[in-house]
Amino acid sequence: MVVPDPALPEHVAIYEVGPRDGLQNESAVVPVEVKAEFLDRLAAAGLRVLEATSFVHPRWVPQLADAADLLQRLVRVDGVDYPVLVPNERGLDRALAAGVQHVAIFASATETFAKRNLNRTLDEQFAMFAPVVDRALAQGLRVRGYVSMCFGDPWEGPVAPEQVAAVGRRLVEMGCHQLSLGDTIGTGTPGHVDAVLDACLAGGVPVQQIAVHFHDTYGQALANTLAALRRGVTTVDASAGGLGGCPYAESATGNLATEDLVWMLDGLGIRHGVDLDALVATSTWMAGQLGRPSPSNVVRALGRT
Ligand code: HMG
Ligand code: MG
């Protein structure tokens, strides 16, 4: 039954991260043909933003070393945006050579994760990003900014919402059109989402520019998403089949499953443009490719894995 809630947005833009955040964390390297088919199927299921891959150092994330090859094989669908992660100018050069039009830089809210994920201090990460953003904007690209460890860090423990807001604000001031707040290890709860959003809004980041990126390690991702929607956030990151994690963050598991998100949005009468059956079929197929069942409740309920 559909029961709308007037306090929630009428439309949510789903930012699909399965091909990047999901596959970067697979122990096996997924063949490039399978990745290309995954992207084609996600586009056919109605997803309009597909984070396709990363141009990071191939030694750091060997699972995505085939980024250029993948983008060459991609049959780009009209109206579908295929952003990619780039950490530095070398990554941007590779992304530009592949014809990318939308890139995402990824900052850390904490010193320890900046070091572990980017081999930079908190301040040095901005020095690395600045020329990437300047050059990307000058070439007419759009730049998204992630902040990781917004809700806690496995090495440093609690992270002050003001620290998250300060890092996020710097990314927006650099020229990022969107700020994605990452619960990298999935420990956040709905009140904490309010606190982080309060700090970001007080720090001058408009809610229209904020996206949320919840990993589901502690089963809180959907509740946290609902909390963010109540605050007016309308872009939600999710991963088909609940694939995902971060190879450089202890205890990071899959993202919020796109199917679980779609099920909730359908029940609330919120438009999203995704064909749930086609998406479940895609995640069921991908689970077969990976040789293990999807962790998504909705895929398990509706699919045949
Ligand atoms: P570094 O070792 O400090 O690199 O790594 P460097 O700048 O010193 O360069 C060393 C060599 O690497 C040079 O080659 C560079 O050209 C080369 P040499 O001159 O020695 O022959 N190099 C590259 N080659 C290819 N592509 C590149 C590249 N960059 C340098 N882009 C670096 C620094 C940033 C490269 C490294 O730390 C890195 O690749 N990190 C990426 C880690 C990663 O991908 N983590 C997962 C994504 S983040 C995430 O999942 C969180 C998120 O989902 C949100 C959330 O959940 O919170 C987004
Ligand atoms: Mg992530």
Cα–Cα distances (Å) from 271 to 9, 81, 223, 268, in that order, read 9, 19, 18, 9
For residue 51, what are the domain limits?
A: 13-301
Asked which of 84-93, 180-189, 283-292, 296-305 is least confident by mean pLDDT, the reply is 296-305
Task: Say if ligand 1 is within 6 A of residue 161 CB.
Answer: no
Cα–Cα distances (Å) from 82 to 26, 169, 251, in that order, read 21, 25, 28
Task: State residue 304's pLDDT score.
Answer: 64
Quickly state the pLDDT bin for 292 (edges 50, 70, 90): confident
Q: What is the average per-residue pLDDT within 20-42?
A: 94
How many domains are there within the chain?
1
Distance CA 66, CA 116 (A): 23
Of 90, 124, 149, 159, best ligand 1 pocket probe by most atoms within 8 Å of the beta carbon: 90
**Cα angle, residue 12 at apex, residues 11 and 18 outer, rounded to 5°:** 155
**Cα angle, residue 21 at apex, residues 185 and 204 outer, rounded to 5°:** 65
Work out which ligand 1 atom sits closest to the CA atom of 91.
Answer: 31
CA pseudo-torsion sign 251, 252, 258, 262: positive
In this structure, which ligand is nearest to the CA of 108? Answer: 1
Q: Is pLDDT at 305 greater than 60 in this prediction?
A: no
Question: Structure tokens of 260?
Answer: 């679980």
Question: Does residue 1 form part of some domain?
Answer: no
Residue 105 CA to ligand 1 center (angstroms) comes to 11
Q: Is pLDDT at 291 greater than 80 in this prediction?
A: yes
pLDDT, tens digit (0-9, with 9 covering 90-100), for 108-137: 999 999 999 999 999 999 999 999 999 999
Question: Structure tokens of 79?
Answer: 């109206």
Any idea which residue has 């809180």 for tokens? 220
Distance CA 276, CA 19 (A): 18
pLDDT, tens digit (0-9, with 9 covering 90-100), for 10-29: 999 999 999 999 999 888 78
Distance CA 238, CA 217 (A): 13
Task: State residue 251's pLDDT score.
Answer: 64
The percentage of the chain sitting over the pLDDT mark of 90, rounded to a whole number, equals 92
> pTM value?
0.97
Of 15, 17, 23, 57, best ligand 1 pocket probe by most atoms within 8 Å of the beta carbon: 57
Question: Does residue 8 form part of some domain?
Answer: no
Residue 51 CA to ligand 1 center (angstroms) comes to 17
Question: Does residue 119 form part of some domain?
Answer: yes
Active-site residue list: 246
Task: Say if ligand 1 is within 6 A of residue 188 CB.
Answer: no
Q: What is the average per-residue pLDDT within 63-83?
A: 97
Residue 118 CA to ligand 1 center (angstroms) comes to 6
Contact present, 264 and 296 (Cβ < 8 Å): no
Question: Does residue 6 form part of some domain?
Answer: no
Task: Say if ligand 1 is within 6 A of residue 76 CB.
Answer: no
Question: Does residue 37 form part of some domain?
Answer: yes
Question: Does residue 4 form part of some domain?
Answer: no
Question: Does residue 142 form part of some domain?
Answer: yes
Q: What is the average per-residue pLDDT within 187-193?
A: 98
Question: Does residue 7 form part of some domain?
Answer: no
Q: Is pLDDT at 245 greater than 70 in this prediction?
A: no
DSSP-derived pairing of the beta strands 102-108 and 142-148: parallel
- Find the CATH number of the domain harbouring 248: 3.20.20.70
pLDDT, tens digit (0-9, with 9 covering 90-100), for 140-149: 999 999 999 9
Of 244, 242, 268, residue with least CA distance to 10: 268
